[in-house]
A and B are shown apart, each in its own frame.
Chain A
């Protein structure tokens, strides 16, 4: 199974601080997604990113969130000023080699705790 990696696995931060979550999707893929899961709830779509641009974002993805591709293989999700309600598991995902309609493979997630 194709591998998607994420760092860090856990992040604890103080309310109001900025956090950066990192993802390395399937090699050479231009498409990836960020999702989040609040503890005990379902997984929710945040944003999709294609070829260095946001292709779609949910209503959750407000101005405090941003996504970037700082280099050829890494993608980041930045939360500028964290709130208590941002505590969640954040997943990145990448479609398989068949393209955007293929199976989405998820990274292991970053558990963010905002104190």
Chain B
């Protein structure tokens, strides 16, 4: 089956710093989403980005489907950005089930 790997696994930042999170996948996919899992365990949609670049405030994402990777950029990080970031790829033909990556645990320190 498809493998979805994220790097780095852990990241510690000072408030105000920028970061780039990476998601690699091993097969062609239907689409790709980025999530932020908050301390209460909720999965918050960040981006639906099967290809191209999108921006939302301090966050932006780029997916290069032909090269099987996606990047999530966080600029001017804040303590509220802390949590786990997951990418998930839509896979499996008509079902389009999401296969999640291993996650990046981000801690932003004041």
Contacts and interface: CB of A to CB of B under 8 A. Distances in A.
Interface of A: 1, 33, 35, 37, 42-45, 48, 55-56, 89, 91, 93, 95, 100-106, 108-109, 111
Interface residues of B, number: 24
B96 interface: yes
Interface stretch (B15-23, B39-47, B65-73): B39-47
A1 B45 contact: yes
B31 A101 contact: yes
Contacts of A93: 98
Nearest to B49: A103
A56 B93 CA distance: 11
Contacts, number: 57
Contact of B96 (A1, A43, A101): A101
Given A48-B97, A103-B33, A104-B98, 11 more contacts: A33-B97, A37-B41, A42-B102, A43-B86, A43-B100, A55-B95, A91-B43, A101-B90, A106-B45, A108-B40, A108-B42
Interface of A is mostly: strand
B103 A101 contact: no
